[in-house]
Copies of this chain bind each other. A is one copy, B any other.
Amino acid sequence: MTQHDHLLDAYARLVVKTGLNIQKGQQLLVTAPLDAVPLVRRITEHAYRDGASLVTTIYSDNAATLARFAHAPEEAFDVAPGWLFNGMAEAFKAGAARLAIAGENPSLLAGQDPKKLARANKARSQAYRPALELITGFAINWCVAAAATPAWAKSVFPGVPEAAAMEQLWKAIFACTKADQPDPIAVWEKHNADLHRRTDFLNNRRYRALKYSGPGTDLMLGLADDHFWKGGGGKALNGVFCNANIPTEEVFTAPHKDRVDGTLSSTKPLSYQGSLIDGIRVRFEAGRIVEMTAEKGEEAFRSLIGTDEGAARLGEVALVPHSSPISASGIIFNNTLFDENAASHVAVGQSYTENIRDGSKRSKQELAALGANSSLVHVDWMIGSGKLDVDGILPDGTPEALMRKGEWAI
């Protein structure tokens, strides 16, 4: 075994045990790009060793996707593999666990006919909904992890030869997921305990707002009434504790859509629908962005926040320490699984129901009355740095230090 093989195996074991926590007799359904075969084989072996009854992997192939865009007529893009997604939903209902291996080429479909893209995305979203609702509803234990692939590696390390780019990306994945540490599973137990200690602390303090201070940032960000902080692993409705994202560093909750005031500056670039947006500076009044500039991609950002009323308001606020291993890597991954764990961030647009107490039992009207935001979009952008201070504001107005110079103060 090479050093890479050792690390790949440790990573696979971490995904199966800590990510999925596969149960004896449980089926496992994997989706992965073809380039992830070596990782999927390691994962498959660990799943069987841990008692999985059957592991089924559905591979995707970039070449097949591109052949469709090159040769199929526009009306073909209204068709999606509903039969496969319905089969997946049937598997989840029967208790199968779910693993998604990310690693797609971030710019695979750049330059393709936007009409075909829109029709394909719509058809796929509609056909996938029954399966997706079982995932987002946390019916079964599931996990998203990543595999380095040549196209992704080249996008992260442009100009670097493919083999070296692959090696660097794998090294970054192993570091960010802690798979390169002597006992990754124990490290994740402690990591989860840290995240849960923080979400418990934050949920107990019931801050009414967060105050952000840093270069270009002076913001009072009101939190939704009955907001709920989430982070790290959790128990699915089938009773299995799993970690749905490997890696994860964030704790996150719902802002109040009408109670954000002041200025906020981005600290890392954002890739949105093929456009690079950087140097964002916005001013909020009563929750709404009323002024904005950006050093790059200003039009794209203006278009984003103009999508609908909710797109100019916040739907998520997440705290991530500046020393997070993803941030420490200094790499822009062009992949949300990693990039959203690199820095404290906010998202304009739709908020998560799970970030309101008993959110799934409340009506849309009730959620909106509590301050939850509603929009067709949900786009994260990074505001964290080694110069950011964050205070929690208690109901009586008293500030408490949450982060100092980008690191946890709690």
Give the interface of A toward B (CB within 8 A).
25, 27, 34, 37, 40-41, 44-45, 48-49, 51-59, 61, 63-64, 67-68, 70-73, 75-76, 79-84, 86-88, 90-91, 94, 96
Residue of B nearest to A50 (CB): B71
Hey, which chain B residues are within 8 Å of A86, CB to CB? 87, 90
Query: Once bound together, how far apart are the Cα atoms of A82 and B80, in whole Å?
Result: 21
Q: Does B64 lie within 8 Å of A41, measured CB to CB?
A: yes
Q: Are B25 and A53 within 8 A (Cβ)?
A: no
Q: Decide if B79 touches A53 in the complex (CB within 8 Å).
A: yes
Q: Which residues of B contact A27 (CB under 8 A)?
A: 79, 81
Shortest CB distance A334–B (Å)? 25
Task: Report how far A82 CA is from B90 CA in the complex, Å.
Answer: 9
Given contacts A27-B81, A87-B88, 18 further A-B contacts (CB under 8 A): A40-B61, A41-B61, A41-B63, A44-B61, A44-B64, A44-B67, A44-B68, A45-B67, A48-B67, A53-B75, A54-B72, A54-B80, A56-B84, A59-B59, A81-B91, A83-B88, A83-B94, A84-B87
Contact partners of A81 in chain B: CB under 8 A: 27, 54, 56, 91
Jot down 25 A-B pairs with beta carbons below 8 A, ordered by A.
Answer: A25-B76, A34-B59, A44-B63, A44-B64, A45-B70, A48-B70, A51-B72, A51-B73, A52-B72, A52-B76, A53-B72, A54-B68, A54-B76, A54-B79, A54-B80, A55-B68, A57-B59, A58-B58, A59-B59, A82-B90, A83-B90, A83-B94, A83-B96, A84-B91, A87-B90
**A206 CB to closest chain B CB, in angstroms?**
44
Could you tell me the distance between the alpha carbons of A67 and B96 in the complex, rounded to whole angstroms?
A: 19
A75 to B83, CA, bound (A): 28
CB-based nearest B residue for A78: B53
Complex interface: chain B residues within 8 A of A90 (CB): 82-83, 86-87
How many copies of this chain sit in the oligomeric assembly? 2
Q: How far is the CA of A80 from the CA of B96 in the complex (A)?
A: 12
Q: Which of A41, A76, A80 has the most CB of B within 10 A?
A: A76
A401 to chain B, nearest CB (A): 50
Report yes or no: B67 in contact with A41, Cβ–Cβ below 8 A. yes
> With A and B bound together, what is the CA distance between A223 and B219 in angstroms?
91
Q: Is the CB of B48 within 8 A of A57?
A: no
* Cross-chain contact B51 with A57 (CB below 8 angstroms): no
> What separation, in Å, do the CA atoms of A245 and B88 have in the docked complex?
30
Expressed in whole angstroms, the Cα–Cα distance for A25 and B74 within the complex equals: 11
CB distance from A96 to the nearest CB of B (A): 7
How distant is A40 from chain B, measured CB to nearest CB, in Å? 8
Q: Which residue of B lies closest to A94 (CB)?
A: B83
How far, in angstroms, from A84 to B58 measured CA to CA in the complex? Answer: 10
Pick from A44, A63, A81, A83 the residue with the most CB of B within 10 Å: A83
Cα distance A27–B81 in the bound complex, in angstroms = 9
Give the distance in Å from the alpha carbon of A273 to the alpha carbon of B91 in the complex: 32
Q: How far is the CB of A31 from chain B (nearest CB, A)?
A: 11
CB distance from A178 to the nearest CB of B (A): 25
Instruction: Give min CB distance, A92 to chain B, whole Å.
Output: 9
Ranked 5 nearest A-B pairs via Cβ: A87-B87, A48-B71, A83-B91, A53-B76, A53-B79
Contact of A55 among B37, B52, B55, B64 (CB under 8 A): B64
When chains A and B are docked, how far (Å) is the Cα of A84 from the Cα of B56? 9
- Report which residue of A40, A80, A87 has the largest number of chain B beta carbons within 10 angstroms of its beta carbon: A87
